[in-house]
Every structure is written in structure tokens, then in C-alpha cells.
């Protein structure tokens, strides 16, 4: 192994929790390999933490509580940020960029809220800004979207990008448990944080959707542009109902290019919600805390990326990949490619996006019910794909004229229609005399072209 002749690339690490600790370990364990790959040693210049006495595993002389002073140091070339949150991360990274330092970050919330500011600052300063670890952990996804597919036209990026919610939904499906019990298990096993809001309410996935849509469609999409529903209201009954239809329920992040029609311009849609997907689709088989993302492009067709979406070591792997790229650029004197935002496509509101609904109603079991319910769908131009009535222990296709009196459950699955029309239909159904309750409303996603291969 020939010795690199270049001066070391020096790294300031902001944060040293689960991910930061793994970054330190990989930098030390692989020092010789990293030096050979970069063409210069990659050295830790310092680590900013809140409580130095809690980090006995790392070299104590590296620790500091003064993040700003560490970022400002002249002997720092690259700042790696694994603290998370908007502030002080944004100020520190902007300070680093403005002083000519390249940045590697895993901070999805910051990128989804204000990635444009960081990107513009990096352009102005001529430094690198990489963030592969912000989406889907170790799975190489942002670099393939930004570079490998740079000559193609991406039409859709859709998948499972939050491990916590996938663990909860998988546990519910496997055991029949309710949401609360499954969340408790996830927390006990370390898959959910003490405050699980960002995960279970979909905000984490929405941040990732914003980042994915921005890169895929060359358009700035922020977290505020992403329609977002979490999994708190998914019940054991919903999952059983999905199962009966040959479907699983997954929390999906969906980023789509929507063709322009009738004078309306081409637009993009970015949304996060739990949805029924066919069990024959490979995403239905992605269990526990794994992530998987499908990408569709005009020339490439359908691609799939699968792996561990979170955890210290997988996230650190993604950070180290970015760090090697940034360090190579420092040594070679170049700058890596970045996403572009030239297309500036409008973001389509959820109400205008075509979706499909699965609606489960408690209804009076008497003649005319189906007619009343179907009328509300028809009135809003929503076409019904399938309808099924269950009640009195029986499970049979609806026969409205011959049904006995009493209560029953009516399940309706629609064809694609504007989400606003579907939403309004459900609100109108709730007002009908014959509808005793709206038990559940779930979207149904076919996820584009059928994937004949993969997944038994």
C-alpha cells in the first residue's frame, strides 16, 4: 500500500450519539484504507458534544462543547453534522460553508425545510454539500438519483423510508396487535424513540420525500409541500381488512411527476400516507425496520433499492461514503455534482392528485343502502371498483334487495379519482342516515407498472 503524499483532510464532527460514535469508529478502524482511497489521510480534528463526560469511548482531547469554535478552526476542511434539528445546525453549517469548508450531513429535517439556503451557500463558496445519509440510511439512493439517472427522466420515486413505522405496521400484521401495543414493543426494542411523533405522524418520511422529490424532479420541494398522514389511526381491523383483500398496509412516501393536461402545466406530487398495496408487490414483503424504494424512469424502467434505512453503522456507512467523496475533491481540487433545481415544477396539492380509496362503513342493513352510498360516489364522479357487504357473521357479495334488517359493514374500493372528490364523498357518506359510522378510510396504491419478477 503506497503512502499518500498529500496533507491530511481534517474533519470536525458535530454530535457523537449513535451515528457519530460509529463515524468515529469507522474513521479509526479503516484509517489506512480511507487514506489509500482518498489519496491523503482523513483525520478527526475535533468532536463537538454537549456533555464531554458521557463520551468515554473517544479520545478525550478531541472533545469540545464549543461547536462554533470547532467549525471556525483553520485546520478543519470538512464538517460532518449528525446532531439533527434546524438550529443550531443550520447556523453552524452555513458558517462552515461560508468559511470554505465542505459539509456532510444526515440532517433530513434541515434539508427538507431549508435545503435551498444551504445549497446556494455551497454554490457561492464553491464547496461540497453531501447528505446521502439523510434518506434511507445505508441505501445508496440520492447519488444514484442525482448522478446515475442524470440523463434519464425520472417519473416516480416511491417506497418505505421510515423504519420505525414499518416495524410497527409489520408487528401489527404479524401478531394482530393494535397500534398502541405495537408502538410499545417498538419502543422497548429501540425501534421507536421516547417521543415517536416525528416517525409515527409521518414527518420524518415527509422530510425524506421532500429531499427525494427535489433531486428526482430538479425542483425545490420542501417538507411543507408534502402532504402527510401518519399511522396513528391505522387499526388492527384495517390490517385484517387489507389482508382479506390480499393487501398489506405500508407507510409510503410517494414522489410523482404528474403530466400536464389541458393547458395545466406538468407538476410534481409528494405525499406520505399509509396505504394498502398488493401483497404481490415486493414492497409488501419489506418487513421490520428495512427500507426499500422503487424508482421509475423513462429509459431505465423500474429500479429497486433495498437495505437498512437507519441505525448507527448503516447511517455511518453513508456518511463515510460522502466524506470520502468530499475528501477526494479536496485532494483533487474539484467539486462534486449537486442537484439542480432548474425545472421549478409546481407542486400539486393533494386534492388534485388522483388516488384510490378503500372505505369501510357501518351501515343499516336494509334495502336501498347501497344505492344511497353509491349515489354519493357517483355524484362526485368517483367510479367504484368493488363493493362488499359483511354482517351477521357472513361474508358475501352485496345483495342489497335481499339483505335482512340490522347492521352490516359495507366496504367500497374506488377507481382512481381526485383526492378531494374522494375526501368530500367520505364526508358526505358520514352524513347519510343509513351510514352509522365511517370505520376506516385508507388509500390504495398499485405502485405503477406491475413488477412480475421479484417477490414470490
Q: Contact 131/277 with Cβ under 8 angstroms? A: no
Q: Which stretch binds its own copies (CB under 8 A): 67-75, 304-312, 376-384, 403-411?
A: 304-312
- Does residue 314 interact with its own copies by CB under 8 A? yes
Q: Which stretch binds its own copies (CB under 8 A): 109-117, 299-307, 390-398, 410-418?
A: 299-307
Q: How far is the CB of 434 from its own copies (least distance, A)?
A: 39
- Does residue 290 interact with its own copies by CB under 8 A? yes
Integer CA distances (angstroms), 199 to 151, 191, 324, 395, in order: 34, 10, 30, 36
- Does residue 139 interact with its own copies by CB under 8 A? yes
First-to-last alpha carbon distance for the chain, in angstroms, is 46
Question: The C-alpha cell of 277 is what?
Answer: 398495496
| Closest-CA residue to 215 (of 81, 79, 342, 84) | 342
- Does residue 453 interact with its own copies by CB under 8 A? yes
Q: Which stretch binds its own copies (CB under 8 A): 112-120, 222-230, 236-244, 287-295?
A: 287-295
Number of chain residues interacting with its own copies (CB under 8 A): 71
- Does residue 18 interact with its own copies by CB under 8 A? no
Residues from 32 through 51 that contact its own copies (CB under 8 A)? 33-34, 36-37
Give the one residue of 122, 216, 249, 320 binding its own copies; rule: CB under 8 A.
320
Q: Phi and psi (nearest 5°) for 124? A: -65, -35
- Does residue 31 interact with its own copies by CB under 8 A? no
Give the one residue of 22, 225, 238, 376 binding its own copies; rule: CB under 8 A.
22
Q: Which stretch binds its own copies (CB under 8 A): 25-33, 192-200, 374-382, 383-391?
A: 25-33
Query: Which one of the listed residues 101, 208, 250, 279 is annotated catalytic?
Result: 208
CA 97/CA 156 separation, integer angstroms: 32
| Closest-CA residue to 383 (of 427, 355, 415, 351) | 415
Q: Which stretch binds its own copies (CB under 8 A): 54-62, 224-232, 237-245, 319-327?
A: 319-327
Give the one residue of 152, 201, 352, 424 binding its own copies; rule: CB under 8 A.
152
- Does residue 144 interact with its own copies by CB under 8 A? yes
Give the one residue of 148, 354, 390, 440 binding its own copies; rule: CB under 8 A.
148
Give the one residue of 31, 113, 117, 140 binding its own copies; rule: CB under 8 A.
140
The binding track of 331-370 with respect to its own copies, each residue x by CB under 8 A or -, is -xxxx-x--x-xx---------------------------
Q: Contact 23/55 with Cβ under 8 angstroms? A: no
Check if 250 is active-site.
Answer: no
Q: How far is the CB of 232 from its own copies (least distance, A)?
A: 23
- Does residue 120 interact with its own copies by CB under 8 A? no
CA 46/CA 59 separation, integer angstroms: 9
Question: The C-alpha cell of 314 is what?
Answer: 448503516
Question: The C-alpha cell of 440 is what?
Answer: 376506516
Q: Which is nearer to its own copies, 49 or 326 (CB)?
A: 326
Q: Phi and psi (nearest 5°) for 381? A: 75, 20
Residues from 218 through 277 that contact its own copies (CB under 8 A)? 218
Give the one residue of 9, 11, 16, 26 binding its own copies; rule: CB under 8 A.
26
Give the one residue of 52, 285, 391, 416 binding its own copies; rule: CB under 8 A.
285
Q: How far is the CB of 221 from its own copies (least distance, A)?
A: 17
Q: Please state whether the peptide bond connecting residue 88 to the residue before it is cis, i.e. omega within 30 degrees of 0.
A: yes
CA 186/CA 194 separation, integer angstroms: 10
Give the one residue of 172, 182, 221, 323 binding its own copies; rule: CB under 8 A.
323
Residues from 159 through 178 that contact its own copies (CB under 8 A)? none
Q: Which is nearer to its own copies, 147 or 395 (CB)?
A: 147
DSSP 422-441: HHHHHHHHHH-TTEEEEEEE
Query: How does strand 78-81 pair with strand 129-130?
Result: unpaired
Long-range contacts: 286-289, Cβ < 8 Å, 24+?
286/160, 286/166, 286/250, 287/166, 287/170, 287/174, 288/163, 288/166, 288/167, 288/170, 289/163, 289/164, 289/166, 289/167, 289/191
Q: Phi and psi (nearest 5°) for 183? A: -65, -40
* Sign of the dihedral defined by the CA atoms of residues 27, 33, 36, 37, in that order: negative
CA 138/CA 218 separation, integer angstroms: 23
- Does residue 196 interact with its own copies by CB under 8 A? no
The residues assigned a catalytic role are 208
Amino acid at each position: 500500500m503506497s503512502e499518500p503524499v498529500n496533507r491530511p483532510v481534517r474533519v470536525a464532527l458535530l454530535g457523537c450519539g449513535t451515528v457519530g460514535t460509529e463515524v468515529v469508529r469507522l474513521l479509526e478502524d479503516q484509517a489506512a484504507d480511507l487514506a489509500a482511497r482518498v489519496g491523503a489521510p482523513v483525520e478527526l480534528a475535533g468532536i463537538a458534544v454537549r456533555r464531554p463526560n458521557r463520551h468515554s469511548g473517544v479520545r478525550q482531547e478531541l472533545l469540545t462543547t464549543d461547536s462554533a469554535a470547532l467549525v471556525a478552526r483553520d485546520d478543519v476542511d470538512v464538517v460532518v453534522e449528525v446532531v439533527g434539528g434546524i438550529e443550531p445546525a443550520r447556523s453552524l453549517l452555513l458558517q462552515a460553508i461560508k468559511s470554505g469548508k465542505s459539509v456532510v450531513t444526515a440532517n433530513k429535517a434541515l434539508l427538507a425545510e431549508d435545503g435551498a439556503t444551504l445549497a446556494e451557500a455551497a454554490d457561492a463558496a464553491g464547496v461540497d454539500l453531501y447528505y446521502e445519509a439523510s434518506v434511507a440510511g445505508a441505501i445508496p439512493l440520492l447519488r444514484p438519483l442525482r448522478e446515475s439517472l442524470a440523463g434519464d427522466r425520472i417519473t416516480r420515486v416511491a417506497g418505505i423510508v421510515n423504519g420505525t413505522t414499518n416495524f410497527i405496521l409489520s408487528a401489527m400484521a404479524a401478531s394482530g396487535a393494535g397500534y398502541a401495543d405495537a408502538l410499545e414493543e417498538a419502543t422497548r426494542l429501540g425501534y421507536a424513540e421516547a417521543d415517536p411523533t416525528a416517525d409515527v405522524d409521518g414527518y420524518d418520511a415527509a422530510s425524506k420525500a421532500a429531499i427525494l422529490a427535489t433531486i428526482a424532479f430538479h425542483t425545490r420541494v420542501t417538507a411543507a409541500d408534502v402532504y402527510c398522514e401518519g399511522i396513528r389511526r391505522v387499526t388492527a381491523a384495517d390490517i385484517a381488512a387489507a389482508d382479506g383483500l390480499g393487501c398489506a398496509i405500508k407507510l409510503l412516501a410517494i414522489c410523482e411527476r404528474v403530466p400536464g393536461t389541458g393547458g395545466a402545466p406538468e407538476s410534481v406530487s409528494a405525499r406520505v400516507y399509509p396505504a394498502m398495496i398488493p401483497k404481490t408487490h415486493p414492497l409488501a414483503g419489506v418487513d421490520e425496520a428495512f427500507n426499500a424504494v422503487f424508482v421509475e424512469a423513462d429509459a431505465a424502467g423500474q429500479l429497486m433499492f433495498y437495505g437498512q434505512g437507519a441505525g448507527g453503522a448503516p447511517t455511518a456507512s453513508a456518511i463515510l461514503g460522502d466524506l470520502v467523496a468530499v475528501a477526494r475533491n479536496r485532494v483533487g481540487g474539484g467539486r462534486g455534482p449537486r442537484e439542480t433545481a432548474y425545472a421549478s415544477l409546481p407542486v400539486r396539492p393533494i386534492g388534485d392528485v388522483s388516488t384510490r380509496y378503500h372505505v369501510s362503513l357501518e351501515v343499516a342493513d336494509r334495502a336501498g343502502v347501497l344505492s344511497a352510498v353509491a349515489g354519493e360516489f357517483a355524484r362526485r364522479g368517483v367510479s367504484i371498483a368493488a363493493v362488499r357487504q359483511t354482517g351477521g357473521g357472513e361474508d358475501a357479495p352485496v345483495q342489497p334487495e335481499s339483505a335482512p334488517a340490522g347492521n352490516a359493514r359495507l366496504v367500497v374500493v374506488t377507481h382512481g379519482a381526485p383526492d378531494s372528490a374522494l375526501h368530500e364523498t367520505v364526508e358526505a357518506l358520514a352524513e347519510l342516515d343509513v351510514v352509522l359510522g365511517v370505520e376506516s378510510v385508507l388509500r390504495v396504491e398499485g405502485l405503477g407498472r406491475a413488477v412480475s419478477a421479484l417477490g414470490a
